Structure 1
């Protein structure tokens, strides 16, 4: 039987509703839940002695159920003759004090202030189908009439799905008179929350409680949200209210989707907030297996300090983690930097009820869900410094525990907490190491920066770019655009004292961070320029001051086109030509490229190939980064590696690289061993992409 309208505008038509209730018959149609779902909220705002107006009653049993528990002063109105007749007949004997009247809610005949409470279950949603002028006129007329018949201090309770157009119209109207707005999310049992189909909805149901106040134009509007049985939380603005409702709706849809099927094509992310704090307390990724597993459902808690590990911060890593764990659905939980946690047990207690809502359809009720992690504790993470950058927003410098009981210092921009901008390793000084061997404890305040460590694979490859320099260059001039926290610059300065390094950084705050927290220091071999890298290189080209190596390691603040590093302006044909003009005839260009758009990445390589005679690149394992090397001097005569000339050319290139490495640092083997940088391995991975 087709009970849905052909066009949503029919919701405003009395003829539609007459037809609807004829088809429906005497069976109650419960928009958005029954009395059992709503009673907890209704009893907070409606007293048994209140005179209640039920707006657009339909044939719902809500007013009947309320009457049966003591609410006898209820007036029901609807625009449908048929439903009013049905409801009058149905209640004539058992509920004599309750009345039913045919009436248009936009033109009511009741006296001003006649009711203590008005209850609207689905009527607003039926009328507010869009934001056309006629619709707005109808809805605003209803709001004005309901406001008129309510007494001062009376409450208007709206049960709604709060679709975008509905909540926009609602808050716009009642913000003009500054009446308090409180929104409840109405919890329903799983079998009644839309997971079984039928008349139910996957969107969450809300109850909006609006209290009639005297008009006070200068009064700040009270805006609150209440999730489930929790206490109401005061919000700062209507914008925050809209955002919070949107999050609840997203979670409702996701919960419905996860309860009815597996989601293999995408890992869904859900953020859980505590007391409506500005930052999420938990971030969770739902990872479904590609095949059936005996074990159905588990929760994995990522220890603090490990959230940026590849295994936990990328889709591919979490997929591998799921396969290793062997569960049909694995929920990977990351703990926020902005919150504190007592213990693993307290986290389990906090999450146990919420994560059950994410169980797969194959999970049997009553089966205990295991919580997994690495080790038995929740890890350690200590914020050492908080700051603000005009370029990147708020940031923190934190010390965190990693694998094998190692400690790392990290720079993290709070706008992108899953990405570590800079990292160094902290180690105990020699005296502390001796103490530890004798059984003493590592002094937490005495750790120092290990300058022989490079955290990022792409930095390993960029350092290897120095090996492309010819042997006769004894004191290479290297320009690094993008200082950040300074680990790459500090490493080059520490281990290649021959290099005359100039670093360009647009954000002065980052220069302070690098110096104060990441062991970067100025000396005779290092100069830092606080300026725009684009302008600096343009002026350098005009001066005809040649560099031996130019490195780009600068991130983009706009990744909407799929290019996170560098900013698009750095890889235009014109600027690449300008960059080439700053290099000597045997100079080397090194670019750290982070691009998720394969066609754009190919275009960038082609642009570089148009300018440089040899373009070589390396893909960084477990990173999105691709490091591109370009030279104006290396000559090759073949197009593919299968050609013997091409193979010989590549072999000669690798041999010259090896010699150059030895020239730059005679003790390179010692450096490689102590700093975890395998230059030979980086070079061996190089692939000739384009040769002219």
Structure 2
């Protein structure tokens, strides 16, 4: 499978090419490949018996190199008197059959069909400085003259950088007149020429003179790195593939010349017909030269790419150091594609990732492919949709380890994913009309699972619920009333309802899509004690005021990344005031704050403090996420001790099969806000 990157927007920038040509200087031949780099392609299309016209020869040594290996019938033309005299004097003794003539490529004195090959090394690039009307007219004249002096079946071979405007021109001009087009990328990356401070990929374009026939299909071909010729079905496709080759070549040069410590370069590889990338590659340099392992490839199992270790710069950096590699290429698989086996993936990637070796890597060394186990992983997409508030989303089942099943809700716009555990359950069913039974298996969602440390911390906040009177000392969740503003998969209210079926739960989702996903795929099951709604949370809270609700807790679990749900606008004065009116005198507001800046976090805590007299907080998972407990009552001096004691009750009620909750530890880590 031919894979290439697809991120070449910078090549459309005139400033980018201006920079290149300023650094290129006047030594065109130095920048367009020398004979050892070009000869493999040139000899495929030029025979020693061919009569060759070198246009815009300048002081290039290419015709001299060809002459020295047996191509003696070469005429060189250039518009410069000086260069013609210099090249004539230089070659008249050692290459007596080679001619240098002052002549304009747009208007020559040669006969029709005189040449078998017209060779152009950088002349098209020098003449076509832009796509203005005057320049394009000159290029049309040049191409027309080349077509006149070429015989039928003759070839125009153009060595070019194929900047965007030039690529557009040749892909419009030659297919229109019926000439087949074939383009090879010249391998100049490993050139010994040290003057290439600003190396760009060089192409050899071959245009063969054919007589155009009625209804003749365009012949468009690209030569890949393994010498395979691939047919393109349109000029648009060919343009895309060539731009991909440019981008990949530039990327390869950059990462081979230097270490990328502190910056993780990434790009995607696409299969021939795909719209979505097939692979995404991250180049991670550890910066630790003590590692004996210099270079490795880590393939993330299918379905695991959203995990912290693989989806964040910090996680991938830790992965690289844990694996002990100076440079690790982390490869993720895309859910839009199917993959046969881990060996198939390695085979597809090998021609590309091995080119991403670090500086001074010894060629020929075996590069290890790493993964978690010997399987590619497993992913089954169950649902794809679009939430009005949280964007595009996907529900998928994955296998993290043999026999370990997860169902994930993944937001494609970068919000953290959430997941549930699926347990395999075996059932025996009696066959109809027979005494035999058949054992079947099905996956059942585990309602006792919480997929994040911060959720455990939020549950611990319910230990402040001690009843409706100041005399109540014991946690009384079974009779409590709780409002959950839920922006995920409904896992938190489902867990509470599973363990406290008598608790009166009101669950508000930000839109109907999120609520439907929670219901259809994560076993959110409303009943008389758990009501589900989809509404703007602030609007719902405001409209609930005065309806006689007296809540013991309000729990807010939202990811405030969309503009309509930004934390600053959501937790504003009017909303907090409305929440306070819904809570009982001993009630608690439990919410998470997502902000890395300490000053921003303090501002939010001050905002809460204006409505709630006692504020506790604790950092979870990383310093950018803080869980806050805002208490309505400040009368009880031993309230923290009571909550710590109540944690033991919650731990017993919420014991899970896989692990025990340690809610008491959360109480030890609380910080009392001091304004």
Q: Shorter chain as normaliser: what TM range?
A: 0.7 to 0.9
* Deviation larger for 29-38 or 572-581: 572-581
Which residue number corresponds to residue 592 of structure 1? 592
- By how many angstroms is 1:455 displaced? 1.5
Matched, 1:672 2:655: yes
Q: Structure 1 CA distance, aligned partners of 2:522 and 2:222?
A: 43
Whether the 8 Å contact between 1:412 and 1:422 is mirrored in structure 2 is yes
* Deviation larger for 268-277 or 120-129: 120-129
Deviations along 1:522-550, whole A, 9 cap, x unmatched? Answer: 21222232333344344445878665433
- By how many angstroms is 1:492 displaced? 2.2
Q: 1:586 to 1:351 in 2, by over 3 A?
A: same
Find 1:348's aligned residue among 340, 346, 349.
Answer: 346
- Structure number with the bigger relative contact order (C-alpha 8 A, sep ≥ 6) is 2
Deviations along 1:594-631, whole A, 9 cap, x unmatched? Answer: 4455554554444444544333333223x576143242
Deviations along 1:353-390, whole A, 9 cap, x unmatched? Answer: 43322222243233222333333x22431314242325
* Deviation larger for 540-549 or 54-63: 540-549
Whether the 8 Å contact between 1:50 and 1:116 is mirrored in structure 2 is yes
Matched, 1:254 2:251: yes
Find 2:263's aligned residue among 256, 262, 266.
Answer: 266
Alignment of 1:117-128 (within 5 A): 120-123=120-123, 125-126=125-126
Which residue number corresponds to residue 81 of structure 1? 81
Find 1:447's aligned residue among 437, 440, 443.
Answer: 443
Matched, 1:283 2:266: no
* Deviation larger for 244-253 or 338-347: 244-253
Whether the 8 Å contact between 2:31 and 2:199 is mirrored in structure 1 is no
Matched, 1:427 2:418: no
Matched, 1:399 2:382: no
Whether the 8 Å contact between 2:335 and 2:379 is mirrored in structure 1 is no
Find 1:527's aligned residue among 531, 536, 550.
Answer: 531
Which residue number corresponds to residue 334 of structure 1? 332
Matched, 1:383 2:380: yes
Q: Structure 2 CA distance, aligned partners of 1:294 and 1:549?
A: 55
* Deviation larger for 59-68 or 324-333: 59-68
* Deviation larger for 292-301 or 671-680: 671-680
Matched, 1:31 2:31: yes
Find 2:310's aligned residue among 309, 312, 335.
Answer: 312
Whether the 8 Å contact between 1:424 and 1:454 is mirrored in structure 2 is yes
Matched, 1:510 2:514: yes
Deviations along 1:281-301, whole A, 9 cap, x unmatched? Answer: 333333323322233222333
Which residue number corresponds to residue 643 of structure 2? 657
Q: Structure 2 CA distance, aligned partners of 1:175 and 1:396?
A: 41
Which residue number corresponds to residue 191 of structure 1? 190
Q: 1:632 to 1:373 in 2, by over 3 A?
A: closer
Q: Structure 1 CA distance, aligned partners of 2:391 and 2:453?
A: 26
Matched, 1:683 2:666: yes
Find 1:322's aligned residue among 310, 320, 332.
Answer: 320
* Deviation larger for 506-515 or 386-395: 386-395
Give 3-state SS (helix, strand or coil) of 2:655's partner: helix
Alignment of 1:63-102 (within 5 A): 63-65=63-65, 76-90=76-90, 94=95, 96=97, 100-102=101-103
Deviations along 1:117-138, whole A, 9 cap, x unmatched? Answer: 7665444555666x7xxx7355
Matched, 1:358 2:356: yes
Q: Structure 1 CA distance, aligned partners of 2:220 and 2:643?
A: 66
Q: 1:128 to 1:427 in 2, by over 3 A?
A: same
Which residue number corresponds to residue 436 of structure 2? none
Q: 1:480 to 1:38 in 2, by over 3 A?
A: farther
Which residue number corresponds to residue 645 of structure 1? none
Whether the 8 Å contact between 1:11 and 1:126 is mirrored in structure 2 is no
Give 3-state SS (helix, strand or coil) of 2:463's partner: helix
- By how many angstroms is 1:425 displaced? 0.7
* Deviation larger for 141-150 or 151-160: 151-160
Q: 1:66 to 1:310 in 2, by over 3 A?
A: same
Q: Structure 1 CA distance, aligned partners of 2:233 and 2:598?
A: 43
Give 3-state SS (helix, strand or coil) of 2:523's partner: coil
Q: Structure 2 CA distance, aligned partners of 1:360 and 1:12?
A: 28
* Deviation larger for 174-183 or 378-387: 174-183
- By how many angstroms is 1:211 displaced? 8.8
Q: 1:120 to 1:407 in 2, by over 3 A?
A: same
Q: 1:173 to 1:285 in 2, by over 3 A?
A: closer
Q: Structure 2 CA distance, aligned partners of 1:309 and 1:250?
A: 28
Deviations along 1:631-672, whole A, 9 cap, x unmatched? Answer: 252449xxxxxxxxxxx96xx44323235556xxx5641523
Alignment of 1:476-625 (within 5 A): 476-540=480-544, 547-555=551-559, 566=566, 569-571=569-571, 576=576, 580=580, 583-596=583-596, 600-621=600-621
Which residue number corresponds to residue 4 of structure 2? none
Whether the 8 Å contact between 1:30 and 1:61 is mirrored in structure 2 is no
Q: Structure 1 CA distance, aligned partners of 2:539 and 2:235?
A: 41
Whether the 8 Å contact between 1:422 and 1:486 is mirrored in structure 2 is no
Which residue number corresponds to residue 459 of structure 1? 455
Give 3-state SS (helix, strand or coil) of 1:57's partner: coil
Give 3-state SS (helix, strand or coil) of 1:277's partner: coil
TM-score by length of 2: 0.76
Residue-pair matches, total: 630
Whether the 8 Å contact between 2:221 and 2:232 is mirrored in structure 1 is yes
Q: Structure 1 CA distance, aligned partners of 2:264 and 2:301?
A: 20
Q: 1:405 to 1:428 in 2, by over 3 A?
A: closer
Whether the 8 Å contact between 2:160 and 2:203 is mirrored in structure 1 is yes
Q: 1:88 to 1:310 in 2, by over 3 A?
A: same
RMSD: 4.8
Deviations along 1:169-195, whole A, 9 cap, x unmatched? Answer: 753896699859978561516521x8x
Which residue number corresponds to residue 141 of structure 2? 145
Alignment of 1:172-191 (within 5 A): 179=176, 184=183, 186-188=185-187, 190-191=189-190
Give 3-state SS (helix, strand or coil) of 2:326's partner: strand
Q: 1:10 to 1:420 in 2, by over 3 A?
A: closer
Q: Structure 1 CA distance, aligned partners of 2:78 and 2:577?
A: 74
Q: 1:382 to 1:55 in 2, by over 3 A?
A: same
- By how many angstroms is 1:326 displaced? 2.5
